[in-house]
Chain A
Amino acid sequence: MRTHIYRFLAILSISISSATLFSHSAIAAPDIKILSSEGQLSNNILSINADAEVDLAKDPIEALESGVPLFFDLHIEILRNRKYMWDRDLFKTKYTYSLQRHTLSKKYVLKNLITDTQGVHDSITAALQNLGQIRKLAVIDLEELTNRKNLVIAIQLELKISALPAPMMPLAYISPQWHISSKKHKWKLDL
């Protein structure tokens, strides 16, 4: 009897470990690559330009084609680089984009929900290209920062699973196809 219990516990622990590893590897493999980035300062307003390659798997594309809106979060952080300690968070913001198919016009509408601007695209590829082209995105008024030394900007673009319709969420959480995220892209801000 005791042997059976030990065997059951062993199988359970192996399954949990495998599931953790699997989910971890799924999360760790990004499908969004940030190719380049830069910061611009104009009238003390810091804005960023970045180019990213956004690639969606089969399931998200199928969902989009079926009328399910997809949401993307662009996380922007301003950090202070420290020599002997980890970086210190100075500022955090988030831009959310929605991508939806307009069935009647057969167009794809990419909308920045923060700035309330939108672009209409003939294809998913064009829409995703547009999503990856981040231009003059205002981040912060540098007047708010007293010390402008050793500043680092970090950006990360990811598909927001929590914004999916509830029935899709459980499967999306465990499916690697839906874990689409870029690595945190950092660069030093030269002012």
Chain B
Amino acid sequence: MRIRNTASCLVTLLIISLLGSLILMSGAIQNSSQFGALYPSLLLSNSIGILVLMILIGANIFTLLKQLKAKEAGARLTLRMVIIFTVLAVVPVTIVYSFSLDFLKKGVDSWFDLQVSDALSDSLELSRESLELRTRQLLRQTEKMAEEMSRQSAESSALNLDALKSPSALLNPQHIPNPSRLDQMRSQNGAEELIIMSGDALVISSSEKSDLVPSLPSESIQSQVMQGQSYIGLNPSQSGDLFVRIAVKLNVNQNSPSQYFLHAIYPFPSRINILTDRVEIAYAEYNELSYLREKLTLSFAMTLTLVLLFSIAAAVWAAFYSARRISAPIRDLAAGTAAIARGDYTKSLPVQSNDEIGFLVSSFNSMTNRIARARNQVEMQREYLDTLLSQLSSGVMALTNENIITTLNPAAVKLLDLQQVDYKGGTIESLCRNNTHLNILEKELIPLISDRCEDWQTQSTILAADGSRELIFKGTKLKSDERVPQDSLVIVVEDVTAIIQGQRDAAWSEVARRLAHEIKNPLTPIQLATERLRLKYLTKLEETDSKLLEHLTRTIIQQVETMKTMVNSFSEYANVPVIRREEVDLGHLIEDILDFFKTAYPKATIELEIMKGIPQMHADPLRLRQVFNNLIKNALEATSEIDRGHIIVSVRAVEYIQSNYFEILIADDGTGIPDDLITSIFEPYVTNKNKGSGLGLAIVKKIVEEHHGVVSLKNKTDQGVLVTMRFPIIESISALEVTA
């Protein structure tokens, strides 16, 4: 702002200087004696000043065009005002200029009248004629004097001019011409000077009215006279008076070796001098003025043009300045409105005047303040709601009538196991489609959402990274009002995995207990009775019956054994054993286990990858051994159908959601697990194998969870299964107990 004001002051100063300079230049034109010397400098400085103004205007135009191109607020208004101001200023000035030029030319021309010019020429001619008459008369007088001198020279030795030229003439008084006679002749004829000169420019004798050195004729005059032509010339004197110079040849004795001439200067009477001087001055001035007419017109025109250019440049600059000043508040208002449209309510406009525009600006400011306050309140409410939602353990998801997710709290993100946090703006369909583990929701959840029932509830199982999750989705249709569009929906997601798991575990434990009690107890008497039956009757029966008995009793005993094993396994699964934690070198433990399996399954390729620097794990090594035995055995059994199966076991430390974990991956290239079993594969008696109790993976899951770990299983994209286990890395057993 300050820079702009300084620039405006400088330009105003420039304009004032230019104006002063133009006034001086005008003075220089009118009075050359006073300002004449300054005229060129003034002309130059004015031209430069106007050029500077033009450049400033050019810069203003360039800036305005740039603003117009960028569609900046207020640019069009500024352009319109500049055009109006410029036209209003330029048109009258140009009209005045053209008329002034015309008047100027006519005015200057009117100074020169043909009659005046002719009169002056005539008066000059008249003066010349008059002077010529006088000079002819003087020439005749001079010629008479010359004749007289020539005659006397021939008759009298006193005027023996040749003798006067000899070096001894000065010593011989009789050869000296009678000065009084020469003076007398000069005086009688009214001459100023009379000089007798020889052809070789020697002054023989002279007579002057004053005591000054005689004014000698030039060489050209001398040579003209020596050729016999008398010289007559009208000359201006030092003082400005006219005088006549006449030179006439003297006809001396023909035997004379030298030639002589008489040189005379005659003044004009003072009255004639005054008159001729006036005529001369008047004519010379008129003539000079006449010559300067075109130049004068041109100079005036140049000055006038400079004034015009200056006026136009100053007017255009003033137009820019005024337009910018007037449009500034409107431009600010437009910019402020644009800012509000963008959502920026902090914009406050400067109130620069107390007029209507100032009132408009202050009203705008108070409006934006009120909007900003209201917006802040809304923001605060929104933040409060966000905080509330973020603190909830249940997931909350809000959908529009087009199923666009508008709210998705952190708990929902966590429960749905989403990697990319911000799903706002996308649809629920795209969310389910883009996340493989949520694909199942597309069938179970989307139809309910699309139906837009008032209240509904469904339970789904998703396979998250850390295992399957049982989620309950409760949907409620929101009542529509000004802020809530019609058919908006809020869905609350709850994780009931632990509850269901607990219920299942309790059920299975009860089953196990009952099985142990109800089934295991009768098995022993059955087995004993069968063995007794066998011992008593095997030898007594005939061979055919004996064989049959032996076959039947063996079958009963085997099945009882099988049932006992099954019940024992079930008891083992149902029991809650005491975990004996100690520091376990995970790599070493797995290596031991793998060595056993490598020997047992020589055709299989078993690889172990252990990350360096893995810390010791606090765990029950026997229980862990059982986990790895079950998993690796499963993997080997899965690959046994394929010749030369390939199993890779990786052990590493990873960071997951700001916590450190041991991560154990067991990958095989076996047959994989059918999709319909994948979500319930860790349940008891869920298996895809023909043999086995179906409790292996259930026990694995149980032991892993006893160690606060998670286990998951998924089919690889190419072939086989990938089992992932994660155990928290805990520094000490005490810390683990605290955590537990």
- Which residues of A does B touch, CB under 8 Å? 1, 5, 8, 62-63, 66-68, 101-105, 107, 109, 116-118, 120, 122, 162, 165-171, 173
B542 at the interface (CB under 8 A from A): no
> Contacts of B39 on A, CB cut-off 8 Å?
166, 169-170
Q: Given A102-B236, A102-B280, A103-B124, answer yes or no on A5-B40 (Cβ-Cβ < 8 Å).
A: no
Those of B661-689 within 8 Å (CB) of chain A: none
| Contact A67 B58, beta carbon cutoff 8 Å | no
> Contacts of B28 on A, CB cut-off 8 Å?
166
Q: Given A67-B284, A173-B40, answer yes or no on A105-B242 (Cβ-Cβ < 8 Å).
A: yes
> Which of A117, A166, A169, A173 is the most central at the interface, judged by chain B CB atoms within 10 Å of its CB?
A166
> Contacts of B32 on A, CB cut-off 8 Å?
165-167
B415 at the interface (CB under 8 A from A): no
CB distance from B269 to the nearest CB of A (A): 15
**What 6 pairs between A and B have smallest CB-CB spacing?**
A66-B291, A166-B32, A67-B288, A167-B295, A166-B36, A167-B299
In the assembly, what is the distance between CA of A113 and CA of B279, in Å? 24
In the assembly, what is the distance between CA of A87 and CA of B38, in Å? 32
> Contacts of A8 on B, CB cut-off 8 Å?
58
Those of B1-55 within 8 Å (CB) of chain A: 28-29, 32, 35-37, 39-40, 43
> Contacts of A62 on B, CB cut-off 8 Å?
291
> Contacts of A66 on B, CB cut-off 8 Å?
287-288, 290-291
> Contacts of A166 on B, CB cut-off 8 Å?
28-29, 32, 35-36, 39, 299
In the assembly, what is the distance between CA of A118 and CA of B215, in Å? 12
B283 at the interface (CB under 8 A from A): yes
In the assembly, what is the distance between CA of A66 and CA of B302, in Å? 23
B235 at the interface (CB under 8 A from A): yes
Q: Given A5-B62, A166-B299, A167-B295, answer yes or no on A104-B40 (Cβ-Cβ < 8 Å).
A: no
> Contacts of A122 on B, CB cut-off 8 Å?
220, 233
> Contacts of B296 on A, CB cut-off 8 Å?
167
In the assembly, what is the distance between CA of A43 and CA of B648, in Å? 127
Question: What DSSP secondary structure best describes chain B's contact surface?
Answer: helix
B234 at the interface (CB under 8 A from A): yes
Complex interface bits, B280-314 against A, C-beta within 8 A gives 1, otherwise 0? 10011101101110011011001000000000000
| Contact A103 B284, beta carbon cutoff 8 Å | yes
In the assembly, what is the distance between CA of A71 and CA of B242, in Å? 23
B127 at the interface (CB under 8 A from A): yes
> Contacts of A170 on B, CB cut-off 8 Å?
39-40, 43, 298-299, 302
> Contacts of B220 on A, CB cut-off 8 Å?
122
In the assembly, what is the distance between CA of A79 and CA of B97, in Å? 54
> Contacts of A104 on B, CB cut-off 8 Å?
124, 127-128, 131, 234, 242, 276, 279-280, 283
Partner of A105, one of B234, B291, B302: B234
> Contacts of B58 on A, CB cut-off 8 Å?
5, 8
> Contacts of B528 on A, CB cut-off 8 Å?
none
B65 at the interface (CB under 8 A from A): yes
Partner of A118, one of B238, B283, B292: B238
Partner of B235, one of A63, A105, A116: A105
Q: Given A66-B290, A103-B280, A105-B242, answer yes or no on A169-B62 (Cβ-Cβ < 8 Å).
A: no
Q: Which residue on A lies nearest to B66, using beta carbons?
A: A1
| Contact B298 A171, beta carbon cutoff 8 Å | yes
CB distance from A179 to the nearest CB of B (A): 13
CB distance from B125 to the nearest CB of A (A): 10
> Contacts of B234 on A, CB cut-off 8 Å?
104-105, 107
Complex interface bits, B218-250 against A, C-beta within 8 A gives 1, otherwise 0? 001000000000000111101000100000000
Q: Which residue on B lies nearest to A62, using beta carbons?
A: B291
| Contact B62 A107, beta carbon cutoff 8 Å | no
Q: Which residue on B lies nearest to A120, using beta carbons?
A: B235
In the assembly, what is the distance between CA of A118 and CA of B69, in Å? 73
6 A-B pairs within 8 Å (CB atoms) are namely A103-B124, A116-B238, A162-B36, A165-B288, A166-B39, A169-B39
CB distance from B702 to the nearest CB of A (A): 78
> Contacts of B298 on A, CB cut-off 8 Å?
167, 170-171
> Contacts of A162 on B, CB cut-off 8 Å?
36-37, 40
Give the size of the chain B interface in residues (CB under 8 angstroms). 41
In the assembly, what is the distance between CA of A64 and CA of B39, in Å? 22
Partner of A67, one of B37, B291, B295: B291
In the assembly, what is the distance between CA of A116 and CA of B518, in Å? 158
> Contacts of B66 on A, CB cut-off 8 Å?
1
Q: Which residue on A lies nearest to B31, using beta carbons?
A: A166
CB distance from B107 to the nearest CB of A (A): 14
Q: Which residue on A lies nearest to B292, using beta carbons?
A: A167
> Contacts of B291 on A, CB cut-off 8 Å?
62-63, 66-68
Partner of A169, one of B36, B131, B288: B36
> Contacts of B276 on A, CB cut-off 8 Å?
104
Q: Given A120-B236, A167-B296, answer yes or no on A103-B283 (Cβ-Cβ < 8 Å).
A: yes
Those of B107-166 within 8 Å (CB) of chain A: 124, 127-128, 131
In the assembly, what is the distance between CA of A167 and CA of B298, in Å? 8
In the assembly, what is the distance between CA of A165 and CA of B36, in Å? 7
Q: A104-B242, A167-B298 are in contact. List 8 more A-B contacts (CB 8 A).
A: A1-B69, A67-B285, A104-B283, A105-B235, A162-B36, A162-B37, A165-B36, A169-B39
In the assembly, what is the distance between CA of A105 and CA of B220, in Å? 18
> Contacts of B287 on A, CB cut-off 8 Å?
66-67, 103
In the assembly, what is the distance between CA of A166 and CA of B235, in Å? 30
| Contact B62 A1, beta carbon cutoff 8 Å | yes
> Contacts of B238 on A, CB cut-off 8 Å?
116-118
Q: Which residue on B lies nearest to A161, using beta carbons?
A: B40
> Contacts of B65 on A, CB cut-off 8 Å?
1
CB distance from B703 to the nearest CB of A (A): 77
> Contacts of B43 on A, CB cut-off 8 Å?
170
In the assembly, what is the distance between CA of A105 and CA of B280, in Å? 9
Complex interface bits, B175-198 against A, C-beta within 8 A gives 1, otherwise 0? 000000000000000000000000
> Contacts of B37 on A, CB cut-off 8 Å?
162
In the assembly, what is the distance between CA of A165 and CA of B288, in Å? 10
CB distance from A9 to the nearest CB of B (A): 10
In the assembly, what is the distance between CA of A67 and CA of B299, in Å? 19
Q: Which residue on B lies nearest to A130, using beta carbons?
A: B218
> Contacts of B235 on A, CB cut-off 8 Å?
105, 107, 120
Partner of A107, one of B128, B131, B236, B288: B236
In the assembly, what is the distance between CA of A66 and CA of B43, in Å? 26
> Contacts of A101 on B, CB cut-off 8 Å?
284
CB distance from A5 to the nearest CB of B (A): 6
Q: Which residue on A lies nearest to B280, using beta carbons?
A: A104
CB distance from B614 to the nearest CB of A (A): 66
CB distance from B613 to the nearest CB of A (A): 63
| Contact A165 B236, beta carbon cutoff 8 Å | no
CB distance from B75 to the nearest CB of A (A): 14
CB distance from A115 to the nearest CB of B (A): 11
CB distance from B164 to the nearest CB of A (A): 29
In the assembly, what is the distance between CA of A55 and CA of B687, in Å? 127
In the assembly, what is the distance between CA of A173 and CA of B279, in Å? 32
> Contacts of B36 on A, CB cut-off 8 Å?
162, 165-166, 169
Q: Which residue on B lies nearest to A12, using beta carbons?
A: B51
Partner of B288, one of A1, A5, A68, A117: A68
CB distance from A129 to the nearest CB of B (A): 11
Partner of A171, one of B124, B242, B295: B295
CB distance from B285 to the nearest CB of A (A): 7
In the assembly, what is the distance between CA of A123 and CA of B69, in Å? 70
In the assembly, what is the distance between CA of A67 and CA of B120, in Å? 14
CB distance from B41 to the nearest CB of A (A): 10
In the assembly, what is the distance between CA of A68 and CA of B236, in Å? 17
Complex interface bits, B345-360 against A, C-beta within 8 A gives 1, otherwise 0? 0000000000000000
In the assembly, what is the distance between CA of A117 and CA of B238, in Å? 8
